[in-house]
Amino acid sequence: MVSFKDESKAVIDFIADYYKNIEKYPVQSKVQPGYLSSMLPDSAPYGPDSLEDVLNDVSETILPGLTHWQSPSFFAYYQASSSTAGFLGEMLCSAFNVEPRFLIDSLSSNPEYLENNASKSNVVVDYKDWQVTLSRRFRALKLWIVIRRHGVENLMRHIRTDVDLGKQFEALIAEDERFEIVVPRRIVLVFFRLKPKHGLDGNELNRKLLDAINSSGRAFLTQGVVAGIYAIRCVVGATLTEERHMKDLWNLIQEKARLVLLQCSP
């Protein structure tokens, strides 16, 4: 009989391989909605499947449908990516499965019309006090382990590195006369656009550019509107992002900009 220890190791090996090969996947999912229903059985298995079969299905059917937030070329939103220390904390959170007393205290409310003898006696669980934490595990433990494993010094270094990468990316944009910074950089958020040319509509031009970038699968950015101006957002912050990824992103943007301008020229 396979032990919990053996299967846990197999899952960790699977995750480690995923991280090792994450740059091979398109950053943004390229499958059509509903694709998964045609690839999986119509009903649950009558008997248990092996973990090997389950992980194979994850690899072949689930991973192709994901947008990979952990990718070093994910620049769409402020990151909530996991470090290895955070993952270890997540494992402990799952094992202990305990909605934290301090959070309950901070979210509870006790107006007169809700008071009753059972609640006052503390012999029942008042789910009204749990609110958001009802569906959340003990995340404070995860944060505590991240801080312990990395230390404040390394966490600050990571933040400063991301800010420096944002500055470098902003400088690359400023050097290219075809582009402009729409609003000043905010920490790791760079808001830019391709300047209108040949009487082209600037908003439509940048929509086409963003679509070309994201459809390549090599990076994922998002859009925003400032005072009616449609622009492209780049947020630096993924755990695995390095300077080379920012250079690759800029090369991709320049490549797609040339194509879009050529296609849109009168």
Would you please indicate which residues are annotated as catalytic (active-site) residues? 113
Q: Both ends of the chain: CA-CA distance in Å?
A: 70
Largest CA distance in the chain: 78
Q: What is the sign of the dihedral through the CA atoms of 23, 171, 80 and 225?
A: negative
Q: Which of 53, 109, 73, 15 is nearest to 248 (CA)?
A: 73
Sheet with strand 222-226: strands edge to edge: 179-186, 189-194, 229-235, 222-226
